[in-house]
Amino acid sequence: MARPRLPEPRLDNVKSVEELSREVEAHLRDLNRALDQYFAEEDQPDAVGYSADNVTKTRSFDADSTTTAEIADVLGTLIDDFTQAGRLKNQS
């Protein structure tokens, strides 16, 4: 009697790391353009009061295996980058 076998995995929707990286970069460019437009419009309230302490500069994490501290470091780095670029003010 033949042993049952699992079906072969579908590989037609698998993306390479390079493809995923290009997609993420494209989304980040779109986000940056949207932020530029938002901050260029008149009568927008200042984004004030965002800050993070004890941040280890981190711009990436493994979405399948990460910790709250890693996510917090990425967010803290993003806040710092926006503050340095003049898009956020850390003083009220």
Quick one: tokens of 6? 């699992």
Write the pLDDT tens digit of every residue in 14-64. Answer: 777 788 888 889 999 998 888 888 777 766 666 778 888 999 999 998 888
What is the band of 72 on the pLDDT scale with cuts at 50, 70, 90? very high
Burial state string for 30-68 with b = 16 or more CB within 10 A and e = fewer than 16:
eeeeeeeeeeeeeeeeebeebeeeebeebeeeeeeeeee
Name the residue among 56, 92, 58 with its Cα closest to residue 74.
58
Domain residue limits, the chain: 46-92
pTM of the model: 0.51
CA distance 75 to 91: 18
Quick one: tokens of 12? 């037609």
Strand partners, 48: 89
